[in-house]
């Protein structure tokens, strides 16, 4: 596959990232024509300025990485990101709410962020490392009901977590694709074969910090 760059959101979410790290990310995204970059929300404006005049999308994260912020805080964070120019927003679900089967709360949490995003597409991070198959399927169904645009596997921040697994991506795709949602695989995608496996399983986006290696 020659167009892997069109799937990749080149990712830098490290809390100790410095100016030179961001400059490198932006330059690599432009050089390899990655679909997008994914960064923390404090840096959206900087990214928009750096990537002005390019087709590279600026993607940011909300309620990251635990998903345990109050709904109102997540919604405010999303509205700020949209105002700063974010092209897409990736929010983390309330995993405890899902495990407690408090489905109305989880759905309303997603819906509030979706409303706050306005026209900005919303991805819902399920954190599949912490979920069983039934919970993954239910989280996908709640994302559909809440009006999300994508479901996403992982933050990449779970201790000893695997990240994206092809079997989970396939389950997510099978659950949401008929409703018009797409799947983003992220976490642990470090080489070309892993990327191809995720795409074959149904992913249309790949979140990875190994984008340059994957396309080289």
Q: How confident is the model at residue 69 (pLDDT cuts 50, 70, 90)?
A: very high
Catalytic: 184?
yes
Q: How confident is the model at residue 1 (pLDDT cuts 50, 70, 90)?
A: confident
Average pLDDT over residues 99-126: 98
Q: What is the pLDDT of residues 185-194, one digit of tens each?
A: 999 999 999 9
Catalytic: 102?
no
The CATH number assigned to the domain holding 106 equals 3.20.20.70
- Structural domain span for residue 43: 4-215
Average pLDDT over residues 92-121: 98
- pTM as predicted: 0.98
Q: Which of 87, 90, 109, 129 is catalytic?
A: 90
Catalytic: 152?
yes
Q: How confident is the model at residue 96 (pLDDT cuts 50, 70, 90)?
A: very high
Q: How many domains does the chain have?
A: 1
Q: Is the pLDDT of residue 2 over 90?
A: no
Give the span between the Cα atoms of 38 and 206, in whole angstroms. 11
Q: Which of 152, 165, 168, 182 is catalytic?
A: 152
């Amino acid at each position: 596959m020659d167009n892997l760059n069109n799937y990749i959101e080149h990712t830098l979410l490290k809390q100790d990232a410095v100016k030179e790290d961001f400059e490198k990310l932006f330059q690599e995204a432009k050089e390899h024509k990655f679909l997008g970059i994914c960064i923390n929300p404090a840096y959206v404006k900087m990214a928009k300025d750096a990537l002005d005049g390019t087709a590279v999308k600026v993607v940011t994260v909300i309620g990251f990485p635990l998903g345990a912020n109050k709904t109102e805080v997540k919604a405010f964070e999303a509205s700020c990101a949209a105002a700063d120019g974010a092209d897409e927003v990736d929010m983390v679900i309330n995993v405890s709410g899902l495990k407690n089967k408090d489905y109305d709360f989880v759905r309303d949490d997603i819906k509030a962020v979706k409303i706050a995003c306005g026209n900005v597409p919303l991805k819902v991070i399920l954190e599949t490392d912490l979920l069983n198959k039934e919970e993954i399927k239910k989280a996908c169904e709640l994302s559909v009901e809440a009006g999300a645009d994508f479901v996403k596997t992982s933050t990449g921040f779970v201790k000893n977590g695997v990240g994206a697994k092809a079997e989970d991506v396939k389950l997510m795709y099978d659950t949401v694709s008929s409703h018009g949602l797409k799947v983003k695989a992220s976490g642990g995608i470090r080489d070309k074969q892993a990327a191809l496996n995720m795409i074959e399983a149904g992913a249309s986006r790949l979140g990875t910090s190994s984008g340059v290696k994957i396309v080289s």
